[in-house]
Amino acid sequence: MSSARSSTPSTPSRGALASRTAIPTSSIATPARADSSATLSEPGASATATWLPTEPQPSSATRTRSTPAPVHRPGHGSSPAARQSPRRPGSPCAPRTLRRVDDSVPVWTVVLVGAVLLAAGGLVPYVVARAAAGRLRRNRWVGVRTPATLAGDAGWRTGHAAARPWAAVAGALLALSGLGALVVGATTGAPGPFAAVVVGGAVLGAAALVAGAVRADAAARGSLSR
């Protein structure tokens, strides 16, 4: 029995197996740690391949974020004038209209002066023509009134007949002055041009009336001396 037991091989324990199968860690070749700053020279090489250093890449913390280029939009500039809306007052695109200035001639003055000058331009030749035809008798209110024309009916008619051409010239000048006053007052309303047209036409018309009165007085005196 003792010989049979000794011939049977004994089963080794787990500790003995572990001690027999253990491999020293120092005998295993540790591959070089792959650095993020190195690249493998030959793909598929063994663990003992040589690693070549390359230039270090900037980390995500040091990378600069690219800023997109600003987009220019119409009406959105850097200056306040560029940001103004075209409908706001003072904008370059705002529509502009011609307005009458504060010191312009009032409308009622323009209408009144123009109407008076036009009426005078038509009334002066009409009165002189009626007196020359004998339809307007001697009076001290209308017509060419001089000592010679008021002396008699013959001198009255003769004097007015001699003054008719000058009366026509005076009437035309007064009518043109009235039209000019209306045009200037309706367009610009500036006091300077308005006064120049009115005063100029009135002065020229008055000069023509004076010349006609002188001619009528001379003709009336000639008729009385006969």
Residue 156 lies in a domain: yes
Q: What is the pTM of this model?
A: 0.54
Domain count within the chain: 1
Range of the domain at 124: 107-224
Question: How many percent of the chain have pLDDT more than 70?
Answer: 54
DSSP 34: P
Q: What is the DSSP string of 43-92?
A: TT--TTPPEEE-PPPPPTTTPPPPPPPPPP-TT--SSHHHHS-TTSTT-T
* Average pLDDT of the residues of the chain: 74
Indicate whether 175 pLDDT > 70. Answer: yes
Q: Which of 139, 205, 218, 214 is nearest to 176 (CA)?
A: 205
Q: Which of 176, 169, 226 is nearest to 200 (CA)?
A: 176
Q: Which of 170, 166, 165, 86 is nearest to 120 (CA)?
A: 170
pLDDT on residue 11: 53
Residue 163 lies in a domain: yes
Residue 141 lies in a domain: yes
The rounded distance, in Å, linking the Cα atoms of 44 and 56 is 23
pLDDT on residue 224: 78
Least confident of 71-80, 124-133, 158-167: 71-80
